């Protein structure tokens, strides 16, 4: 080997080692957060866990004495985008549980005290059933109900983080995020949703004057899309941060047949919310995991077409010029975000009748949770953030990954399939 070639090889090795060292100093984290990520147990924040959350954790043996939440240790956090791709890069066997279910859902409905449809086509509340006690057939029926109604709610729940994970595993491969805060090292896949923490630790702000509309769907960059997503709030402040869901079955039905035809069979590029480094060119700025999916997809359980886009993480429609893609995507976002008849707004509250019954301080701190289970494929969601309503809100979220996404040209839209007027 000539001296010049040897120097080049050594230089390359030095460079690679330097890049590795720099990358390992600080994981990059979520693109929208301004501070760096702290990894491992967070000792400072365990003391700030809301009272009712503490009760839930104590009851079910979740130890937060070393700190809370828990973030994967630095060595386990992927720094380079190729590492992030490799986490889930091939098909995992998936059973669409709703397909096994009784279309009448008799076992689920007969056991419930009440089944309340919150709007004609999106949102159902089930009263008088504990999620923790559902049988396998009831879980299948619930999966079908979620696929049809987009989001299903259960108030007054007593649900351990372990049971929440168990339910998630039943409905699909549980998504384990490589960077997200979780309940503990033994709770891979049970993600902490705690705005006080994200704001206090990472600098995610809530300002009154900042536009308050963060419509999105979760994990669009995944090889297999997020299906049933289960958020369980165990600490709910007064007037606490409502959540809205919008049906993308409904959004598809809102388009003219000409636009539907144009979009049918097209694909789009979707990106991750978290950012990574390019190993070959680490100085070139953050990289994202990007994947291509059909923009109009068919739901495996209902057979209905739905629009798979969201403002936060859709990059472009494949085959169009950037300006054309932006124009069409912005129109689709507007359809999803502004049509109230395809949306439901949920007020998180542990019990019905809360308007008449003003809780005293002791009752407020008693753990009874509220669960929302939605099909992430067929919806966008948005939380109403405000300084006054988000403080003290805490929950845990488990996401079951579903199919890779496909478009069946013979499938129908929801309104077509149900024989409803499109006029
Ligand atoms: Fe979300």
List the CATH number of the domain containing 380.
3.60.130.10
Closest to 307 in 3D by CA, of 165, 155, 150: 150
What is the tens place of the pLDDT at every residue in 120-138?
999 999 999 999 999 999 9
- pLDDT for residue 354: 44
DSSP 52-121: HHHHHHHHTT---TT-SSEE--GGGS--BHHHHHHHS-S------GGGGS-TT-HHHHHHSSEEEESSSS
In the predicted model, what is the mean pLDDT of residues 385-402? 90
Q: Sign of torsion, CA 180 182 233 379?
A: positive
**Rounded to an integer, what distance in angstroms lies between the CA atom of residue 53 and that of residue 394?**
7
Q: How confident is the model at residue 86 (pLDDT cuts 50, 70, 90)?
A: confident
Q: Is the pLDDT of residue 212 over 80?
A: no
Measured in residues, the chain has a length of: 423
Q: How confident is the model at residue 26 (pLDDT cuts 50, 70, 90)?
A: low
What is the tens place of the pLDDT at every residue in 270-297?
988 888 888 888 777 788 889 999 999 9
Closest to 129 in 3D by CA, of 114, 144, 116, 141: 114
Ligand 1 centroid, distance to 90 Cα (angstroms): 24
Number of independent structural domains in the chain: 1
Q: What are phi and psi of 291, to 5 degrees?
A: -140, 155
Look up tokens 């008849």; give the residue: 341
Asked if 229 and 374 count as a contact pair (C-beta separation under 8 A), the reply is yes
Ligand 1 centroid, distance to 216 Cα (angstroms): 6
In the predicted model, what is the mean pLDDT of residues 355-380? 81
> Which has the minimum average pLDDT: 6-20, 172-186, 326-340?
6-20
Does some domain include residue 30? no
Instruction: Write the CA distances from 49 to 372, 394, 399, integer angstroms.
Output: 21, 8, 22
Does some domain include residue 314? yes
- pLDDT for residue 418: 96
Three-state DSSP class for residue 311: coil
Ligand 1 centroid, distance to 341 Cα (angstroms): 21
Q: Is the pLDDT of residue 152 over 80?
A: yes
Closest to 97 in 3D by CA, of 143, 145, 155: 143
What is the tens place of the pLDDT at every residue in 304-319?
999 999 998 899 999 9
Q: Is the pLDDT of residue 401 over 90?
A: yes
In the predicted model, what is the mean pLDDT of residues 178-200? 91
What is the tens place of the pLDDT at every residue in 161-184?
999 999 999 999 999 987 789 999
Q: Is the pLDDT of residue 260 over 80?
A: yes
DSSP 330-365: HHHHHHHHH-GGGEEEE---SSTTTTTS---HHHHT
Ligand 1 centroid, distance to 371 Cα (angstroms): 14
Does some domain include residue 31? no
Does some domain include residue 11? no
> Which has the minimum average pLDDT: 5-9, 16-20, 243-247, 318-322?
5-9
Ligand 1 centroid, distance to 382 Cα (angstroms): 7
**Rounded to an integer, what distance in angstroms lies between the CA atom of residue 32 and that of residue 391?**
19
Ligand 1 centroid, distance to 189 Cα (angstroms): 15
Q: How confident is the model at residue 355 (pLDDT cuts 50, 70, 90)?
A: very low
Ligand 1 centroid, distance to 381 Cα (angstroms): 6
**Rounded to an integer, what distance in angstroms lies between the CA atom of residue 138 and that of residue 304?**
22
Ligand 1 centroid, distance to 243 Cα (angstroms): 10
Name 296's bridge partners.
307
Structure tokens at 396: 């845990």
Q: How confident is the model at residue 2 (pLDDT cuts 50, 70, 90)?
A: very low
Ligand 1 centroid, distance to 72 Cα (angstroms): 20
Closest to 345 in 3D by CA, of 309, 319, 381, 320: 381
Closest to 143 in 3D by CA, of 408, 345, 402, 404: 402
> Which has the minimum average pLDDT: 86-90, 202-206, 339-343, 380-384?
202-206
Distance of CA 368 to the CA centre of its chain: 22
Q: How many C-beta atoms surround the C-beta of residue 305 within 10 A?
A: 28
Q: Is the pLDDT of residue 420 over 90?
A: yes
Q: Is the pLDDT of residue 40 over 80?
A: yes
- How much of the chain is helix, strand and coil, in % rounded to 5? 35, 20, 45
Three-state DSSP class for residue 409: coil
Share of residues in the chain with pLDDT > 90 (%): 63
Ligand 1 centroid, distance to 4 Cα (angstroms): 53
Rounded (10°) CA dihedral 90, 73, 180, 22:
-80
Q: Is the pLDDT of residue 386 over 80?
A: no
Does some domain include residue 50? yes
Instruction: Write the CA distances from 131 to 83, 189, 242, integer angstroms.
Output: 36, 18, 21
> Which has the minimum average pLDDT: 86-95, 188-197, 207-216, 237-246?
207-216
| Average pLDDT score over the chain | 88
Long-range contacts of 383-387 (CB under 8 A, 24+ apart): 383/214, 383/241, 383/242, 383/243, 383/244, 384/212, 384/241, 384/242, 384/243, 384/244, 385/195, 385/206, 385/212, 385/214, 385/241, 386/206, 386/208, 386/212, 386/241, 387/206, 387/208
Q: How confident is the model at residue 324 (pLDDT cuts 50, 70, 90)?
A: very high
Q: Is the pLDDT of residue 32 over 70?
A: no
What is the tens place of the pLDDT at every residue in 61-72?
999 999 999 988
- pLDDT for residue 24: 64
Domain that holds residue 159: 41-354+366-418
Does some domain include residue 13? no
Q: Is the pLDDT of residue 76 over 80?
A: no
Contacts of 307 (CB under 8 A, 6+ apart): 248, 251, 252, 255, 263, 295, 296, 332, 335, 336
Ligand 1 centroid, distance to 50 Cα (angstroms): 21
Q: pTM for this structure? A: 0.91
Ligand 1 centroid, distance to 110 Cα (angstroms): 32
């Amino acid at each position: 080997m000539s001296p010049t070639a040897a120097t080049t090889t050594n230089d390359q090795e030095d460079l690679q080692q330097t890049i590795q060292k720099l990358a390992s100093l600080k994981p990059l984290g979520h693109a929208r957060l301004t501070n760096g990520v702290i990894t491992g147990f967070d000792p400072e924040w365990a003391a700030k866990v809301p009272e009712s959350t503490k009760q839930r954790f104590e009851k079910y043996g979740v130890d937060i004495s070393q700190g809370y939440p828990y973030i994967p240790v630095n060595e386990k956090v992927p720094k380079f985008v190729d590492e992030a791709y490799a986490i889930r890069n091939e098909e995992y066997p998936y059973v669409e549980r709703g397909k096994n279910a009784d279309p009448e859902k008799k076992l689920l409905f007969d056991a419930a005290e009440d089944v309340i449809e919150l709007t004609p086509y999106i949102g159902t509340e089930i009263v008088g059933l504990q999620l923790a006690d559902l049988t396998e057939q009831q879980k299948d029926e619930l999966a079908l109900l979620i696929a049809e109604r987009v989001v299903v709610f259960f108030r007054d729940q007593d649900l351990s983080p372990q049971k929440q994970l168990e339910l998630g595993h039943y409905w699909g491969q549980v998504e384990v995020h490589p960077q997200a805060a979780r309940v503990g090292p033994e709770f891979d896949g049970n993600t902490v949703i705690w705005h006080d923490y994200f704001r206090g630790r990472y600098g995610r702000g809530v300002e009154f004057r900042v536009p308050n509309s963060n419509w999105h769907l979760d994990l669009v960059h995944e090889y297999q899309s997020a299906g049933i997503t289960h958020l369980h709030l165990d600490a709910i402040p007064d007037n606490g941060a409502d959540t809205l869901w919008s049906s993308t079955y409904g959004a598809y039905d809102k388009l003219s047949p000409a636009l539907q035809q144009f979009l049918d069979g097209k694909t789009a590029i979707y990106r991750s919310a978290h950012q990574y480094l390019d190993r070959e060119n680490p100085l070139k700025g953050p990289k994202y995991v990007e994947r291509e999916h059909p923009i109009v997809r068919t739901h495996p359980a209902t057979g209905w077409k739905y629009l798979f886009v969201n403002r936060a993480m859709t990059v472009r429609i494949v085959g169009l010029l950037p300006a054309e893609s932006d124009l069409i995507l912005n129109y689709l976002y507007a359809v999803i975000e502004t049509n109230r008849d395809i949306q439901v707004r949920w007020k998180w509250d542990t019990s019905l009748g809360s308007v008449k019954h003003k809780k005293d301080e002791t009752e407020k701190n008693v753990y009874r949770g509220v669960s929302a289970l939605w099909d992430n494929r067929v919806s966008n969601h948005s939380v109403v953030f405000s300084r006054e309503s988000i403080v003290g809100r805490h929950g845990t979220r488990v996401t079951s990954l579903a199919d890779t996404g496909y478009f069946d040209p013979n499938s129908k839209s929801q309104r077509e399939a149900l024989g409803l007027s499109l006029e």
